[in-house]
């Protein structure tokens, strides 16, 4: 009898590999019955890394979304799985152990069956604790081999990694080919090696279509013994997304495998509903380029999940850079020119940064470093002139052991700045924090939530959760969406879009004034309408400290950090605030000794390059 291959629909990743956002809970609940009716999925990816963060970014409660989303699949006997970033949980930065333990308990209670755990460094010190936490929470532990292509990442390397994870208690292994650059024959060899030693272990293959290898890779891993294949579907398949279930099913059926039949009427229902979601708002955050295959991705090896948001973010970076070039009498860059420069720089810096697997968060760190280098060099400055804290933490070993050596010039730069290298267990750098978050919730009269899920959300995503609770997240999102819709209408003959302009949005009864397209040096943050709190401290004299890049302004990075305030004396080189850009926090240092006379923005405010952050006299 032919061997059976089962399919998993990666509905979360389909969206996040295409654009910036995921559907609202009402949209998720509406499409679920049609997915069930397709009759071909044994598993569905419902939530995980990125999903809950982006829910918060547009003002929706992710806990309610996960509970509502998983329910119809459980009722149909379909398993649900989620993406877990090990030491980083669901976010870009490391998570305290007590928050990680609560994470699995909450997700199981909400209806998630399988935790797919990965570490971009493939450091088992980060992954193995999650196996125990998942089991304690009642979840299946599926551990990942984060795949990339380098002189260090060999078949033997991945085979030994799989053995170590299985021996530590992993229930399943996932080959996570997040960039789709795994070579088909090598992937088949890895699967065959694992099955030879552990024939009963379940293996699932996850890949992205972008560079063009993944259909051949799917066939090779299935021949070698793979049990589950992750698939996407139209209109979000291919491109930076995943192979379409129709093509995968036809290929495997022809190869003699037993595969499930697909209800095509239901397939078309799901396809139609996805188009409706894109027309509603999600399509405004899906660049057309992300729907295309691109073999240029073989070189930089950037993952499909990151490419989804990268192309959206790149529009902003390009606009900011070209504004500077225009101001300084230099010719502007096109998006293609910037993209080629970025890809080339990623290929250059990746080996120098120790060959971390290009998967969240380390793919963002390498890409952000490359992009920052490109921007700085375009402005006549030196490479490595601005390195975010999170990137330093990775290079210093604070997040785990790098696969390869750090470049001598980066080691020297670290020594010059007095930075310390780390070899201890990464978790030891991040002490328990739930008590502090419980205290904050009590002080704000916020409910802990069913099964402590609201406590978990604050602890996992502090900045985004606070912005969600205040209504600011939704206000900023509504303003950005209004701008994108207006720009599209103007492009369709609706006339020229006049920017900047101020709009008023309603968030749960509270009205906010939001300036959109204010790229003339003024802030673009959502601010309460008349009667609300002031947006900034009183004006003061002094030298302006300006933003070196576009992003979100924060006075502190971590809960418990002491924020600089008006009247404080600061030293040149002292970190006085942060700009969160491209999912990393960039420390902004005082450029002189003096006293802070004005803080010009509130935490969470959007800033453009050269906006005044504060004044120091």
484-505 pLDDT, tens per residue?
888 887 766 555 545 445 555 5
Domain parsing of the chain, residue ranges: 6-286, 295-426, 433-470, 536-616
356-386 pLDDT, tens per residue?
988 888 888 888 899 889 988 998 888 998 8
The tokens describing 341, both together, are 């420069």
Q: How far apart are CA 57 and CA 457, in angstroms?
A: 13
Assess whether pLDDT exceeds 90 at residue 292: no
Residue 511 has a pLDDT of: 53
6-16 pLDDT, tens per residue?
999 999 999 98
Contact 519, 323 (CB under 8 A): yes
Q: How far apart are CA 482 and CA 474, in angstroms?
A: 12
The residue ranking higher by pLDDT, 504 or 387, is: 387
How far is Cα of residue 463 from the mean position of the Cα atoms in its chain? Answer: 15
Closest to 115 measured CA to CA, from 93, 145, 85? 85
87-116 pLDDT, tens per residue?
999 988 899 999 999 999 999 999 999 999
Q: Look at residue 352 and give its three-state secondary structure.
A: helix
Residue 551: left if φ>0, alpha if ψ -120 to 50, beta else—which one?
Answer: left
| Mean pLDDT of the chain, nearest integer | 87
503-523 pLDDT, tens per residue?
555 555 555 555 444 443 333
Lowest mean pLDDT among 64-73, 256-265, 476-485: 476-485
The tokens describing 436, both together, are 């502090």
> Which 3-state string (H, E, C) describes 230-244?
EEECCCCCCCCCCCE
- Alpha carbons within 13 A on the beta-carbon side of 185: 0
Q: How far apart are CA 584 and CA 593, in angstroms?
A: 27
Contact 321, 333 (CB under 8 A): yes
Q: How far apart are CA 79 and CA 248, in angstroms?
A: 20
The tokens describing 79, both together, are 């398993």
The tokens describing 515, both together, are 């300036």
Average pLDDT over residues 263-288: 93
Average pLDDT over residues 585-594: 89
The residue ranking higher by pLDDT, 563 or 528, is: 563
For residue 258, give the DSSP letter. B
Q: Look at residue 138 and give its three-state secondary structure.
A: coil
The tokens describing 615, both together, are 């004044």
Exposure string over 440-457, b if 16+ CB within 10 A, otherwise e: bbeeeeeeebebbbbbbb
The tokens describing 174, both together, are 């996932």
Contact 111, 67 (CB under 8 A): yes
Lowest mean pLDDT among 390-399, 433-442, 502-511: 502-511
Regarding pTM above 0.75, the answer is yes
- Structure confidence at residue 177 as a pLDDT band (50, 70, 90): very high
Angle at 545 between CA 541 and CA 549, to 5 degrees: 150
Contact 188, 196 (CB under 8 A): no
Contact 180, 209 (CB under 8 A): yes
Closest to 165 measured CA to CA, from 155, 178, 175? 175
Residue 303 has a pLDDT of: 63
* CATH topology classification for 6-286: TIM Barrel (3.20.20)
Cβ partners under 8 Å of residue 451, min gap 6: 105, 106, 109, 110
Contact 65, 29 (CB under 8 A): no
* Sign of CA pseudo-dihedral 383, 384, 385, 386: positive
Q: How far apart are CA 529 and CA 511, in angstroms?
A: 6
* Sign of CA pseudo-dihedral 248, 249, 253, 258: positive
Residue 41 has a pLDDT of: 98
Domain boundaries 536-616, CATH class:
mainly beta
Contact 361, 583 (CB under 8 A): yes
Residue 304 has a pLDDT of: 59
Closest to 158 measured CA to CA, from 126, 186, 127, 125? 186
CB pairs under 8 A, 24+ apart, for 72-79? Answer: 72/29, 72/32, 72/33, 72/36, 73/32, 73/35, 73/36, 73/44, 73/46, 74/111, 76/36, 78/36, 78/41, 78/42, 78/43, 78/44, 79/42, 79/43, 79/44, 79/113, 79/114
User: Which ranges constitute the DSSP H helices of 353-431?
Assistant: 362-378, 389-395, 408-416
Closest to 120 measured CA to CA, from 405, 394, 357, 399? 357
Contact 595, 566 (CB under 8 A): no
Residue 526 has a pLDDT of: 43
Residue 529 has a pLDDT of: 40
């Amino acid at each position: 009898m032919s061997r059976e291959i089962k399919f998993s629909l990666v509905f979360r990743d389909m969206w996040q590999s295409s654009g910036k956002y995921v559907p609202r809970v009402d949209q998720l609940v509406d499409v679920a019955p049609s997915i069930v009716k397709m009759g071909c999925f044994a598993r569905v990816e419902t939530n995980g890394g990125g999903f809950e963060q982006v829910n918060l970014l547009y003002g929706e409660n992710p806990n309610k979304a996960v509970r509502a989303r998983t329910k119809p699949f459980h009722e149909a006997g379909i398993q649900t799985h989620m993406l877990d970033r090990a030491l980083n949980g669901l976010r870009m930065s490391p998570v305290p152990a007590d928050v990680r333990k609560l994470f699995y308990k909450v997700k199981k209670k909400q209806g998630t069956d399988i935790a797919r755990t990965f570490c971009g460094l493939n450091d088992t010190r980060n992954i193995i604790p999650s196996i125990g936490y998942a089991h304690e929470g009642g979840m299946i532990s599926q551990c990942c081999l984060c795949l990339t292509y380098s002189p260090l990442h060999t078949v033997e390397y991945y085979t030994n990694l799989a053995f170590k994870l299985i021996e530590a208690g992993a229930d399943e292994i996932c080959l996570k080919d997040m960039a789709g650059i795994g070579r088909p024959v090598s992937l088949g060899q890895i699967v065959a090696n694992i099955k030879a030693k552990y024939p009963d272990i379940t293996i699932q293959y996850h890949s992205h279509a972008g560079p063009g290898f993944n259909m051949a890779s799917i066939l090779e891993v299935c021949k070698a013994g793979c049990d589950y294949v992750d698939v996407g579907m139209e209109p979000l398949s291919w491109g930076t997304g995943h192979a379409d279930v129709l093509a995968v099913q036809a290929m495997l059926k022809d190869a003699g495998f037993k595969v499930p039949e697909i209800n095509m009427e239901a397939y078309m229902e799901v396809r139609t509903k996805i188009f409706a979601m894109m027309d509603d708002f999600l399509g405004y955050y899906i660049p057309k380029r992300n729907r295309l295959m691109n073999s240029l991705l073989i070189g930089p090896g950037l993952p499909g999940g990151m490419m989804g948001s990268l192309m959206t973010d790149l529009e902003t970076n390009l606009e900011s850079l070209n504004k500077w070039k225009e101001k300084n009498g230099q010719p502007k860059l096109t998006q293609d020119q910037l993209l080629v420069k970025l890809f080339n720089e990623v290929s250059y810096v990746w080996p120098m940064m120790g060959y971390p697997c290009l998967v969240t968060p380390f793919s963002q760190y390498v890409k952000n470093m490359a992009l920052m280098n490109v921007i700085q060099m375009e402005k006549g400055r030196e490479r490595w002139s601005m390195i975010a804290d999170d990137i330093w933490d990775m290079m210093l070993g604070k997040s785990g052991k790098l696969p390869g050596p750090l470049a001598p010039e980066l080691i020297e730069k670290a020594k010059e700045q007095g930075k310390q290298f780390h070899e201890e267990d990464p978790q030891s750098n991040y002490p328990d924090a739930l008590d502090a978050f419980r205290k904050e919730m009590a002080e704000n009269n916020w409910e802990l939530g069913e099964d402590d899920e609201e406590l978990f959300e604050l602890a996992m995503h502090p900045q985004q959760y606070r912005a969600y609770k205040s209504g600011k997240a939704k206000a900023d999102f509504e303003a950005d969406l209004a701008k994108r819709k207006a720009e599209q209408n103007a492009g369709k003959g609706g006339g020229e879009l006049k920017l900047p302009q101020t709009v008023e949005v309603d968030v749960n009864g509270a009205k906010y004034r939001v300036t959109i397209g204010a790229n003339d040096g003024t802030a673009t943050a959502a601010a309460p309408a008349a009667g609300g709190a002031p947006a900034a401290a009183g004006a003061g004299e002094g030298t302006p400290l300006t933003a070196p890049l576009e992003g979100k302004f924060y006075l502190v990075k971590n809960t418990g950090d002491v924020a600089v305030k008006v009247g404080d004396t600061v030293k040149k080189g002292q970190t006085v605030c942060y700009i969160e850009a491209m999912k990393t926090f960039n420390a902004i240092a005082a450029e002189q000794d003096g006293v802070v006379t004005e803080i010009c923005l509130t935490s969470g405010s959007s800033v453009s390059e050269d906006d005044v952050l504060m004044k120091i006299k």
